[in-house]
Structure 1
């Protein structure tokens, strides 16, 4: 590079020369130091190779505008933030059970290279949501969902995953805080041994493996239940008109071999109560009922299931004071964690409009 180019050199939108007095410069350079366990010479070499790779492969602002197959957006997307404010990225491999999409994406070397460039573009877009200033969020969480991963095309998927992993650990140091692999089939653990040969020791420590029974519990360590999507055992629903992530969930612990209840009291009639419930690991019995304050009124059974296994959203119009009572029976030998939230909405009964 000529002296003029060096004076203006940047990485992820941050000037690298201290003379520019940018607040994020030290934080970006620190990532390279941390990745190389504070070896200055190795960190400098890594930074040089990163800048050369970006120049030779045209990894600049222009990559953000490149167009790719719109269906790929279903295989990798950003959704919410973790408990520390980091963006959460989801990679969903089950989409490739569609053989036509799999062939269209990985059928030739050219298509595989194009997919890899799309992954690089996605990383560059995700970095736009980070801040390298003091106190800013400068890394992300990556959740890799292997549910329904097809056996056909696994050779290509493994090859692409290996290349992506190598690129990210070499040219995007410390950008990914944790890689959390969920719903991994048994055969994945064998391939993981092969992957480990291409990972640095530090990169390997960033991987967390969680098979299906432990997936929700593992994810909740990093992501609050109101921000975790319902398909992973959380309470977050797409285009939710009733709750937002700011509607915090309460936690209720259920001891082993016990029946536990929570109550939502309603003192004013003429409202609709809406509630969300999820139980980590489920395998519990579940009942909902409305119990009026007036002993002369009848209890109303809203739901009664011997065994539940997914997040629940329900609502009920209240025309007299009472309470919603949710009863959960834990017949297992392990304690359960239950998360729930509720709200009331003033409602005009439909029969008024029908008069």
Structure 2
């Protein structure tokens, strides 16, 4: 390493340490504020507060507002502290969400099949409960020190009967506002042209931080592209890997 590279490396390290110090200070300030507004905030760890801060670009006021809204929502929507499988029987019966394996960064891998989703009577509320159930399950399976997950959204066979814009937006809102900075990467695969019409309706509601994590993968490059993030022994069998799909409720 020459002197210029050494200086650049030191500058990067110094910048990283400075950013970490700024984050720690802001976490402390935000914690004091939210605990005075809602004593239940004392039960959460600093990592959660940091995720809300990062989701609002370290703006304490905006992050605090989002976090306090989340605490109130959680008490109302998940009064028992968890969503039971008996509350989402129709969603589970569609057999559309799976989880197994870890990517190269140690993030859990989740696979969802868009063509297996259908609207059901009273389905929006159950779909929202299913989103919470799934995200809670993912978070509970994260290795120590990991905060994010990788998702593969497989849209093969998707058609008008699967289109559920209200449902998609409701699930998106829960992901962005209640589980901020949990999504590490979303790979959208096997995309039919028809789905792109629905995507144009959803896209404006995706925040900028989330947009950066979304990639569409060409079918002809599917396996090779997924292997950039996932080792073959952790890749689902249906994409040329070694692991069988495990339903979310069995994972």
Q: Given the two structures, how large is their TM-score scaled by the length of structure 1?
A: 0.54
Instruction: Classify 1:59/1:181 alpha carbon distance in 2 versus 1 (closer, same or farther; 3 Å).
Output: farther
The answer for the alignment partner of 1:163 in structure 2 is: 170
The answer for the alignment partner of 1:124 in structure 2 is: 136
Partner of 1:91, secondary structure, is: strand
Deviation at 1:120, TM superposition (A): 1.3
Matched, 1:223 2:243: no
Partner of 1:142, secondary structure, is: strand
2:147 pairs with one of 133, 138, 157: 138
Matched, 1:78 2:99: yes
Partner deviation per Cα, 1:205-262 (whole Å, 9 max, x = no partner): 11111132122222111110111122112233469xxxxxxxxxxxxxxxxxxxxxxx
Deviation at 1:144, TM superposition (A): 0.5
Could you tell which deviates more after superposition, 168-177 or 60-69?
Answer: 60-69
Matched, 1:32 2:52: yes
Deviation at 1:159, TM superposition (A): 2.3
Deviation at 1:72, TM superposition (A): 3.5
The answer for the alignment partner of 2:116 in structure 1 is: 95
Partner of 1:52, secondary structure, is: helix
Instruction: Classify 1:83/1:216 alpha carbon distance in 2 versus 1 (closer, same or farther; 3 Å).
Output: same
Matched, 1:46 2:66: yes
Instruction: Classify 1:72/1:93 alpha carbon distance in 2 versus 1 (closer, same or farther; 3 Å).
Output: farther
The answer for the alignment partner of 1:234 in structure 2 is: 241
Partner of 2:160, secondary structure, is: coil
Partner of 1:152, secondary structure, is: helix
Runs of 4+ aligned structure 1 residues displaced above 3 Å come to 3-10, 64-67, 70-73
Q: Given the two structures, how large is their TM-score scaled by the length of structure 2?
A: 0.75
1:201 pairs with one of 208, 225, 228: 208
Question: Which has the bigger relative contact order, CA under 8 A and spacing at least 6?
Answer: 2
Q: 1:179, 1:57 → 2: CA distance?
A: 26
Instruction: Classify 1:62/1:194 alpha carbon distance in 2 versus 1 (closer, same or farther; 3 Å).
Output: closer
Q: Larger Cα Rg: Structure 1 or Structure 2?
A: 1
Partner of 1:215, secondary structure, is: helix
Partner deviation per Cα, 1:251-277 (whole Å, 9 max, x = no partner): xxxxxxxxxxxxxxxxxxxxxxxxxxx
Deviation at 1:7, TM superposition (A): 4.4
Q: Relative to total residues, which structure has the larger helix share, 1 or 2?
A: 2
Q: How large is the RMSD of aligned CA atoms in angstroms?
A: 2.5
Answer yes or no: is the 8 Å Cα contact 2:114–2:162 preserved in 1.
Answer: no
Structure 2: runs of 5 or more not aligned: 1-34, 247-251
Partner deviation per Cα, 1:63-106 (whole Å, 9 max, x = no partner): 2454432744620121111111111111112334xxxxx3xxx2
Partner of 1:224, secondary structure, is: coil
Q: 2:64, 2:87 → 1: CA distance?
A: 33
Answer yes or no: is the 8 Å Cα contact 1:142–1:180 preserved in 2.
Answer: yes
